[in-house]
Amino acid sequence: MAAFGDVIKNIFYIFLLLQIAPVIIKSLRTNYNDILTTKTKLGVITVTGTLSTASTTLKSIKKIFEDPSIKGVFLKVDSPGGVAGTSQTIFREINYFKNLYPKYVICFVENVAASGGFYVACAADYIIASPSAFIGSIGSYIQHPFFKDFIEKHNIKYEIIKSGKFKGAGSPFLELTPEQTAHFQSITDDTYKQFVRDVALHRPNVPADPKIWAEGKIFTGEQALALKLIDEVGSPSNALKIFREKGHFEGDIEWVKPGKKQGFLQALFDQDAGNDDEPTYLHSWMKTICTFLETRYSSHIRY
């Protein structure tokens, strides 16, 4: 009877194990997915909105390229451009780190990569855009708001003391002289040449005559494809396909986005709560307002 009892007991344990084993395995897969599943890490760099400062983006670029476990970079651009120096800085930083730590970079444009936004996109090895996305607007300009008439109309007195005939040029309280206007024109011409040169270098299949694809012209994604300003019209899924083809990646993709997550209240009030890559919400909000006023009413070169 004892032997029979042991058999029944063993059958019970086997039956119990068969019942709970799938639950245990599922739990292990859920909680230790990174261990049980082969994944390829792809870094994500996001460039959106008006480009006025590059500091946070530069930190993300450095982190992603210096991480040896990250095999490729997905550059998401959705920007109409902005200050020329910011656009060029991001563009050059991506190329700098690509040379140090070679990684394949694919850019996806959902809505717009115009002017400085397209400048940044050109740092990628492959550009994909939605068919109706705005692409191009390759050009540069300086805007000069002028408040002198408004101030005088309201009987506001002001005085500017300066040295040098070009000092103060671009001030909203001073009219530009013909010489100053010519000087600003030479600046925009030079930055425009830099833009055209870099696009032609990184998009070598565009038509030889830049008048066809530059001069501030804007194109749809399909038009840009015909001009070889981009490589493909599609969606992020097309980017994954290219990544797999170029890198022979296997398994699932793990997207790596630099930056430490914080709670809302912590991020709102604690300037030192996380790493210094992410500004607090209040800081970011105030900075956005100040940046808008600065860029809107000052004579920056803009792409």
State the residue for tokens 């991480």. 67
What does R_g of the chain's alpha carbons equal in angstroms? 27
Q: Note whether 127 and 110 are within 8 A (CB).
A: no
Cα dihedral 145, 149, 151, 153 in deg (nearest 10): -150
Q: Is 191 exposed, middle or buried (0-12, 13-18, 19+ CB in 10 A)?
A: buried
Active site residue 9: no
**Phi-psi label, residue 213: left if phi above 0, alpha if psi -120 to 50, beta otherwise:** alpha
Active site residue 162: no
Q: Is 209 exposed, middle or buried (0-12, 13-18, 19+ CB in 10 A)?
A: exposed
Which of the residues 60, 115, 137, 171 is marked catalytic?
A: 115
Q: In angstroms, rounded to a whole number, what is the distance separating the alpha carbons of residues 294 and 223?
A: 34
Which of the residues 9, 26, 148, 167 is marked catalytic?
A: 167
* Residues with catalytic function: 115, 167
